[in-house]
Structure 1
Amino acid sequence: MQSYSGTYYFAGRSNCCAALLQRQHQQLIVSSTEGEVLWQGINFSTGLDLPGLATELHFDDGSYFVPDDVSLRLSANGKASLATRLEQHKVAIGLSVLLVPLLLWWLATRGLPGFATAVVPYLPKSVSHTIDRQSMQILDNTLLDNSALPQAQQQQWRQQWLSAMAQLPEPLLFQPDIRFRQAKGMGANAFALPGGTIVVTDELVTLLADKPDALLAVLLHEAGHVQHQHGLKLLAQSTATTMLLALIFSDLEVLSEVLLGSGSSLMQAAFSRDMESEADLFATSALVALGKNSSAFADAIEAISQQHDSKTLEKWSRYFSSHPSSSERIEQAKKPPAPTTTPK
């Protein structure tokens, strides 16, 4: 009969003493070093089984025994706990070394972004409106200046575009808020924020002044991003991944920074190819629904591409929704959408 040394803690008292634990079949016997039996029986349970720490044995009278050997694992059925077996299982250790990084990779690239995207439709509108307000404050203080276009012209364009969007077969899921700004560093461009704020630069209005349908096509493209919640999806995905990394590395301060600064992180987002294609389709379908030629969107892309060199386009394509020259997009825009296609 093997003995295990340790410390016995009396029930309901702070006293403890050195003791020996012996096991006879299913029965345990705890005795003092002088041979006095302190507890004896079969009714006991084990405490938390944590690698590197001694596992306590709790008895039915409230007393407990802590072995000196931290590797000692006893249970009522005589079997080691699952945690102990896994800790000593070489195959399990090898698989964990391989699978844990793969699991983290899947969570960061697929699991959490997918979950975050699925949650976006259920977010209250106040979230996107807050992001819009915060983002516009940052942009107006950094990249954008007040529009130099006459107020009458701004109002004319705004009314025309709002009237056109109100005529779409399927109503928009957001309330458009069209704003004009100067953006010398960005040039002829437009971008949309998640809550429905669509910013059009003076340079774009000037460039496409003689092509009103092309200018409308650009606006519809940006409306397509908002309609399909592309901006919110990007923010939700990046926020979820950042929060996962913050939890892994125990940098909890990052969590608050992510939640408070989600609006500014939109500036570093780039719409995916699928998102751009979806917004393109929305624009061309909307143009057809309004009785206009879908090639107007191709005219807009061609005109904008002539105003930017490739480096400028590459730089701004990382922000908002700049429109780099793409022969594929132009060719697709020149093809009329299928009759059954309607804006989503």
Structure 2
Amino acid sequence: MSDGWLGGQYFDGRRSAGHAARLRLEGDCLVLILADAVQRYPARQVRLGMQVGKAASYLWLDNVAIFECSDQTSLAALARDARGAPRTGLLHRLETNWRLILASAMLVAAFLVGSIIWGVPWISGLVAQAVPAHVEQWVGEQSMSTLDEYWLEPSGLDDQRQAGLKEAFAPLMASLNKAYPNRAWRIELRSSEALGANALALPGGIMVFTDDLVELAADDTELVSILAHEAGHVVHRHGLRGIVQSSLALWLMMSITGDLSAASDLTTSLPAILANLSYARSMETEADSFALEVLLERDIDPAHFASIMRRLEATHGQGETSRIGEFLSTHPPTRERIERFDEASQQLKR
């Protein structure tokens, strides 16, 4: 600033191009000198614009025109002299204070972790329970159609074996229909090389058993114990909760990063993926609790569930897992599940 004059660029608000100009305070007016004109603005009407980072500071001369200057200190002083404006904007003070930056980063990190661990599961549970039964059934039917199209094949079991399975499942299915009439309970038998020996529960009451799982079972009672577990997923609406949790976790990550491409960025979406794997573990534990309660109520030895779980563990080649493996597993460690049902079996026999 020389002789009170401050050099910068003038933008009239009608054209994108700026014009070289000088500005200073004279009495109660700001005098702006352009190449071919002199303009005056009431000093009390000027406003100091918010400075972001190292961008040039600027003054609002009226509701449209601005004066931009790289000399942030002098421009702030001019604004302060004109109308008592603060020396720097609030945003600028916040973003240049490293203590506030560090505190903000820690606050955001704590919010993100807390939201994923506690907030997302809690909200998704409320949303899942609020979804009408017919909507849940529609989701289940669509999921079944997709699985049939890409992953599943018709069952290769003969008619006699399929009839035997339906007879074995009938008492528990009747009980489920009576206790939870708003579910469209049914069992689907399929063959799948991709899934191998497996069973899964879809929203609305559809439960799928693969041929490999049927062949792996020593008897139908073991399959009934698996059915009780899958029914627990349906009763607690785990399918819907999983869908909502995945969506909320991804939305949360995109909100924090402000980038829609975060959905396809593995680095950004990895925390959400890991969180959802952890959610699945809690759901499996909840389904196990439901299954154990059902088996005890029907005087079925929980050892049947433990037995087929041992066989499944050997079939899938899990063996001993590390701590990291246990965390990333979508199921709780198999040995812990087996021990739980073995202990229940021993208590039943006492």
Same fold per TM (> 0.5)? yes
Alpha-carbon deviation of 1:282? 1.4
Structure 1: gaps of 5 or more residues: 256-264, 338-344
TM-score when scaled to structure 2? 0.70
Evaluate the alpha carbon distance shift between residue 128 and residue 306 of structure 1 in structure 2; reply closer, same or farther with a 3 A threshold.
Answer: same
Cα deviation, residue 29, structure 1: 1.1
Residues in 2 aligned to 1:96 and 1:323: alpha-carbon distance in whole angstroms:
37
Match of 2:314 in 1: 309
Q: Secondary structure at the match of 2:317?
A: helix
Q: Distance in 1 between matches of 2:309 and 2:117?
A: 33
2:162 maps to 154
Please tell me whether the aligned partners of residues 20 and 31 of structure 1 are also in contact (alpha carbons under 8 angstroms). Answer: yes
C-alpha displacement of 1:228: 0.8
Q: 1:81 aligns with which of 85, 89, 93?
A: 89
Correspondence for 1:222: 230
What is the deviation of 1:84? 1.4
Shift of 1:244: 4.0
Aligned to 1:31: 32
Q: Tell me the CA shift for residue 299 of structure 1.
A: 1.2
1:275 to 259, 270, 283: 283
Question: Which of 290, 293, 298 is the aligned partner of 2:299?
Answer: 293
Whichever structure has more helix as a proportion of its residues is 2
Q: Which residue identity lines up with residue 330 of structure 1 in the other structure? A: F
Instruction: List per-residue Cα deviations over 1:264-309 (Å, max 9, x = no partner).
Output: x9xx9576443233212212323344xx2142x3213213413641
Gaps of 5+ in 2: 265-272
Counterpart of 1:43 (choices 45, 48, 57) is 45
Deviation at 1:199, TM superposition (A): 1.0
In the TM superposition, structure 1's runs of 4+ consecutive aligned residues that sit over 6 Å from their partners are 11-16, 317-323
Q: Secondary structure at the match of 2:47?
A: strand
How much has 1:198 moved relative to structure 2? Answer: 0.7
Q: How many residues align?
A: 321
Give 1:40's aligned amino acid: P
**Quick check: 1:8–1:64 contact (8 Å CA) kept in 2?**
yes
2:61 touches 2:67 (CA, 8 Å); kept in 1?
A: no
Q: CA deviation at 1:224?
A: 0.3
Assess, with a 3 A threshold, how the Cα gap between structure 1 residues 10 and 245 changes in structure 2: closer, same or farther: closer
If the length of structure 1 is used for normalisation, what is the TM-score?
0.71
Matches within 5 A, 1:46-57: 46-47=48-49, 49-57=51-59
SS at match of 2:70: coil
Superposition pairs for residues 110-121 of structure 1, below 5 Å?
Answer: 110-121=118-129
* 2:109 is aligned with 1:96: no
Match of 2:173 among 165, 170, 175: 165
Maintained 8 Å contact 1:191/1:322: no
- Aligned-residue identity in percent: 25
Shift of 1:250: 2.9
